[in-house]
Amino acid sequence: MTLKVLVVDDSGFFRRRVTDIINADGRMEVVGVAEHGRQAIELNESLKPDVITMDYEMPVMDGITAVRHIMSSRPVPVLMFSSLTFEGARVTLDAIDAGAVDFLPKNFDAIARNSEQIRRLLTDKIEAVARSRQSPVPAKPAPRPATTSGTRLKGIELIVIGTSTGGPAALQTVFRSIPADFRVPIIIVQHMPASFTTAFAERLNNLSGLSVKEAADGDAIRPGCVYVAPGGMQLMVDRRAGGSIHIRESDERINYRPSVDIAFASAAKHYGGHSLGIVLTGMGADGKEGARLIKEAGGHIWTQDEATSVIYGMPMSVNRAGLSDAVLALSDVGPKLASDVR
């Protein structure tokens, strides 16, 4: 079945190039284009697309406002285009809060070249977004007790959470449920560009009772603190001298920067049975091999369930490998951390 796509952007050049790329892929076709958010809302109702690509800065009505209207009237998966700036990151995170599934950097030069890599990235993202489940962040989540059985985990000294598509909204849900007196340090590995992780750490810090920052090389790992792996780099930990973080340039052959596998492997080596790895929503299988190493070292692994994952890729790969100790609904992750981790 061919995916129907609505392209929304105030730039005629960008609309044409994106349309050409999409229509050249046999899996999808552009059924309409819009120049602003209000037009997008109208075309969403009349054309009934399967996916919408959305710019955020447009006349008449901006992309975020349009996403909110779309999610309240005829919800459809939305892929945002974003500028690679700090402000662009904040706006994109607002769009994800409003209900957008994922984002891509808006790069006019790359779109103009229309390279095979750009074509594949865009069309694969659209296909993945089409399979997603809408998961906007609730304003006031109502945590419920975790439904999985199990014993409390004693002696946990480090928690590493890995996620990708759907992760920003999922992590906000989790951290709203973790009490301010939670003392076990947490590392977050979220697939994001370098310009986004500072803004994301700031957002988590504002909604959480814990202290959240973008990790820097040499940071001491302290109780009650949360460290977001910087985009474009790799994060590793060292348990010696009380625990510290090391940030390194990434090998170009590694697909994910930051990589959940690398952070998990580091936790397995230095924290072993004192580590807990959590794999949330995301495309692909990053985290599976790292989860295996944590388990072999005596540590523990939790994964998000299929029903509440925006994209059930990363947690599925861990579950199918038999590596998960607990499969949790998203709303259960924070409460289970609060009740079970000591």
DSSP line for 74-109: S---EEEEE-SSHHHHHHHHHHHHHT--EEEE--HH
CA distance 117 to 125: 12
Cα–Cα–Cα angle for 70, 78, 277, nearest 5°? 125
Question: Which one of the listed residues 62, 286, 305, 332 is annotated catalytic?
Answer: 286
DSSP line for 164-218: -TTHHHHHHHHHHTS-TT--S-EEEEE---TTTHHHHHHHHHHH-SSEEEE--TT
- Quick one: angle between helices 330-340 and 167-176, nearest 10? 40
Question: Which one of the listed residues 82, 132, 135, 164 is annotated catalytic?
Answer: 164
State both tokens at 34: 């819009």
Asked about 274 being catalytic, the answer comes back as no
Contact 318, 296 (CB under 8 A): no
Question: Which one of the listed residues 82, 132, 191, 266 is annotated catalytic?
Answer: 191
Strands 326-328, 300-304: pairing is parallel
Asked about 270 being catalytic, the answer comes back as no
| Closest to 246 measured CA to CA, from 270, 223, 225, 224 | 270
Q: Residue ranges of the alpha helices (H) in 211-287?
A: 260-271
Other beta carbons less than 10 A from residue 258's beta carbon: 30
CA distance 30 to 43: 12
* Residue whose token pair is 């984002």: 103
Asked about 164 being catalytic, the answer comes back as yes
Contact 115, 69 (CB under 8 A): no
CA distance 106 to 57: 11
**Cα–Cα separations (whole angstroms), residue 213 to 47, 113, 174, 316:** 43, 36, 16, 29
Would you please indicate which residues are annotated as catalytic (active-site) residues?
164, 191, 286
